[in-house]
Structure 1
Amino acid sequence: MKSLILTTTALTFVAGIALADGHSVVRMGTEGAYPPYNFINDDGEVDGLERALGDELCARAELTCEWVTNEWDSIIPNLTSGNYDTIIAGMSITDERDEVIDFTQAYVPPTASLFMSMDDGLALDGAVVAAQTGTIQAGYLATLENVTLIEFATPDETVAAVRNGEADAVLADNDYLVQIADEDPDLTIVLDPVPLGGGVGMGLREGDELIAVFDAAITEMKEDGSLNALLIEWFGEDTQTW
């Protein structure tokens, strides 16, 4: 992706601070297992909405960035310990996470989580529901009475649990499940949507100057319409935009 010239002196100035603060190369941490947000393509490279977005943000901020993959269940500890500089991995902004790391503004608007099942008449009462460990969906399900939560390390495993009958349904992000349901006639979206989280943002270590850098670039993309164009490209015409 070609480098874009910054349009504001302020963004250039903040980027200079960040680079002087030890970020000669910004390591972008992602899971690589949550399409269309992020996944590993046939060439073995990180791909998806967040790869396209992250590359564009780095270009606008004139940063040199490289991509690092990390399993979801340790993605925050490995950020705070310095193994990479950002989390850009479909991570919803929550108060609990904000106690440990800082977030940019959201780049994906808040959207409801959905249930997907092979039973279009599923009742939640008494159901066994799968969710990925450490997600807002798992946290929500753990609060429900008469619902059995089973957790898995990867999103693929949650969907497989429904297909093999281990779970009655899976609860996950809208844009993750809708594409799976569209491609598999045996799976369907059921029950009512569940509003969770404050949108998806980039996670960074507390107080990192890069927060201001990426915030400025996200704002610029919202204002010029390019962020909405990316959301539609990866999530479809029906997705929520800014």
Structure 2
Amino acid sequence: MKNLIITTAALALTAGMAMAGTIRMGTEGAYPPYNFINDSGEVDGFERELGDELCKRAELTCEWVTNEWDSIIPNLVSGNYDTIIAGMSITAEREEVIDFTQNYTQPDPSAYLAMSEDVDLKGAVIAAQTGTIQAAFVAASGATLVEFATPDETIAAVRNGEADAVLADKTYLAPIADEDADLMLLSQEELIGGGVGMGIRESDGELKAKFDAAIQSMKDDGSLNALIEKWEIGATF
């Protein structure tokens, strides 16, 4: 799903062991249906429901913390929270800085959203959220990349003519295309990323093991697939 490329060195770990108290679950809160802020001002979405169930199964007390996407890994490493559960794809670049649990979603195709089916993607101006592997993919493709801090800004760039298309997770873009007659998904898709997992500090092996076991138990009893289908995240396990 969403995919942060790490371009800076890891910050020194200053936090104590995560297992010592309440586990702080870090998310963006701006990428529905994975995570968003509801009308009550609370974190909601697929990952909120999943995270609460994982904490229950792992017998952990958890609370939710929001953080902007571009600093979400550095702030995990520096101890502002104990996990990342924010639609983050498991990549080799990230694994140089943090650990991941096993994946809790399959790889989600990346799709292009545009205002015309006639976009020449090879020569187009493509918008992507800063720090995602969609942005890295566009930069390597030969197209012109324009980056924005938030997903909403990438959509606005297409609407106002700053970009010919936006590349992002299909799960995120499809509802937008359904709700706006001026926007459409293009037929071309890109399969990038290796599924979504929880980010954990490398020093917190015990916490990682607890969440790994909880994720596996949800796979085994079918409850993870039920959540994936409920939130229309993508392919089931």
The alignment's TM-score, normalised by the length of structure 1, stands at 0.89
Stretches of structure 2 lacking an aligned partner (at least 5 in a row): 1-16
Stretches of structure 1 lacking an aligned partner (at least 5 in a row): 1-19
For the pair 1:112 / 2:109, whether they are aligned, the reply is: yes
Q: CA deviation at 1:59?
A: 0.6
Instruction: Report 1:215-226 matches (<5 A).
Output: 215-226=212-223
Instruction: Report 1:93-104 matches (<5 A).
Output: 93-104=90-101
Q: CA deviation at 1:109?
A: 0.4
Q: Is residue 34–residue 176 contact of structure 1 (8 Å, CA) maintained in 2?
A: yes
1:178 to 153, 174, 180: 174
Q: CA deviation at 1:222?
A: 0.6
Instruction: Report 1:59-138 matches (<5 A).
Output: 59-138=56-135
Q: Is residue 123–residue 144 contact of structure 2 (8 Å, CA) maintained in 1?
A: yes
- For these two proteins, the number of residue pairs brought into alignment is 221
Q: CA deviation at 1:183?
A: 1.4
| Partner residue, 1:158 | 154
Q: Is residue 33–residue 45 contact of structure 2 (8 Å, CA) maintained in 1?
A: yes
| Partner residue, 1:202 | 198
Residues 30 and 166 of structure 1, relative CA distance in 2, 3 Å threshold:
same
Instruction: Report 1:41-60 matches (<5 A).
Output: 41-60=38-57
Q: Structure 2: how far apart are the matches of 1:169 and 1:229?
A: 32
Q: Secondary structure at the match of 1:75?
A: helix
Residues 150 and 165 of structure 1, relative CA distance in 2, 3 Å threshold:
same
Q: CA deviation at 1:125?
A: 2.1
Q: Structure 1: how far apart are the matches of 2:87 and 2:20?
A: 23
Residues 21 and 136 of structure 1, relative CA distance in 2, 3 Å threshold:
closer
Q: Is residue 18–residue 207 contact of structure 2 (8 Å, CA) maintained in 1?
A: no
Letter in structure 2 aligned against 1:71 = E
Q: CA deviation at 1:144?
A: 1.4
Q: CA deviation at 1:185?
A: 1.4
Q: Structure 2: how far apart are the matches of 1:86 and 1:45?
A: 18
Q: Structure 1: how far apart are the matches of 2:140 and 2:110?
A: 15
Letter in structure 2 aligned against 1:28 = M
Q: CA deviation at 1:76?
A: 0.3
| Partner residue, 1:192 | 188
| Partner residue, 2:145 | 149
Moved >3 Å (runs of 4+)? 20-23
Q: CA deviation at 1:191?
A: 4.0
Residues 126 and 212 of structure 1, relative CA distance in 2, 3 Å threshold:
same
CA RMSD of aligned residues (A): 1.4
Q: Is residue 122–residue 191 contact of structure 1 (8 Å, CA) maintained in 2?
A: no
Letter in structure 2 aligned against 1:190 = L
| Partner residue, 1:13 | none
Q: CA deviation at 1:215?
A: 0.5
Q: Is residue 116–residue 190 contact of structure 1 (8 Å, CA) maintained in 2?
A: yes
The alignment's TM-score, normalised by the length of structure 2, stands at 0.90
| Partner residue, 2:136 | 139
Q: Secondary structure at the match of 1:167?
A: coil
Q: Structure 1: how far apart are the matches of 2:230 and 2:37?
A: 18
| Partner residue, 1:25 | 22
